Amino acid sequence: MTDTATGTNATSDRYVRYEVGAGFATLTLDSPHNRNAISGRLVSELHEGLRTAAADPDVRAVVLTHTGGTFCAGADLSETKGDVGTRTREMADLLRAIVELPKPVIGKIDGHVRAGGMGLVGACDLAIAGPRSTFALTEVRLGLAASIISLTVLPRIDSRAASRYFLTGEKFGADQAEAIGLITAFAQDPDGAVEELLDQFRQASPQGLAESKTLTTRAVLADFDQYTDALTAQSARLFESEESREGMTAFLQKRPPRWAVGAGRD
């Protein structure tokens, strides 16, 4: 299949593959060396794919999916040096681009989702997860908080679930993700479940889809307007703290951080 965004073969070394078929665009996270972590390159290529899909009148909706056993492992910790505020702002811009896209975005997940990957799931209009999926907001275990991604995750889940998973960092499965509202549905066959949704979109007009999406995303975008600056500042402050340096170092060294009591790393 051809990568229509670049004109190159879809098996190239791109971190995000863009393919079109049957009126729908598929954006596939494909950087297995870092478990599809959110790197500067992956963010840039996702933006490119979203712009291409938005400009193509033949694309009715977008499917965001992945290769391998991990949908997205969160931030690429190898890129923690430099301007943290700029990287955080880039993540906020990416999440907003998904929410603002005038076409529905369906997340198709059958693998692990951690930290920033949770923000991508929350930004999707619909999300289907298969039996291999697990989820966790692991920031709290690194001396961080789910700052920017709270803009897309908190509107999806109920308040008790938010308190539990934001504060514990524990992992949970697709059935629980459906129960708390993070995903639309848990499916044994996520490919088939997504295809059923695409069949529904084939009956809807492009204008109807775009205008209906504005109704469902209005409150989320208002929160972006109101809170992005403060959350960016919080994220930068935490990333530059001594605790987060210890947390990220411990993670990379595959050891418990200094503050962990009687527990190993998940």
Q: What is the pLDDT of residue 84?
A: 82
Q: Per-residue pLDDT for 151 more than 60?
A: yes
Q: For residue range 91-104, what is the model confidence (pLDDT) as tens digits? A: 999 999 999 999 99
Q: What is the pLDDT of residue 240?
A: 92
Residues 6+ apart with CB under 8 A from 117: 36, 38, 70, 71, 72, 73, 74
* Mean local confidence (pLDDT), 245-263: 90
Q: What is the pLDDT of residue 6?
A: 40
Q: Per-residue pLDDT for 7 more than 50?
A: no
Q: For residue range 91-139, what is the model confidence (pLDDT) as tens digits? A: 999 999 999 999 999 999 999 999 999 999 999 999 999 999 999 999 9
* Mean local confidence (pLDDT), 203-222: 97
* Mean local confidence (pLDDT), 215-238: 97
* Mean local confidence (pLDDT), 203-211: 97
CA distance 136 to 121: 12
Q: What is the pLDDT of residue 8?
A: 38
Under the banding of pLDDT at 50, 70 and 90, the label for residue 85 is confident
CA distance 63 to 21: 11
- Answer with the residue of higher pLDDT: 265 or 184: 184
CATH fold label, 2-188: 2-enoyl-CoA Hydratase; Chain A, domain 1 (3.90.226)
Of the candidates 136, 221, 201, 131, the one whose C-alpha atom is nearest the C-alpha of residue 172 is 136
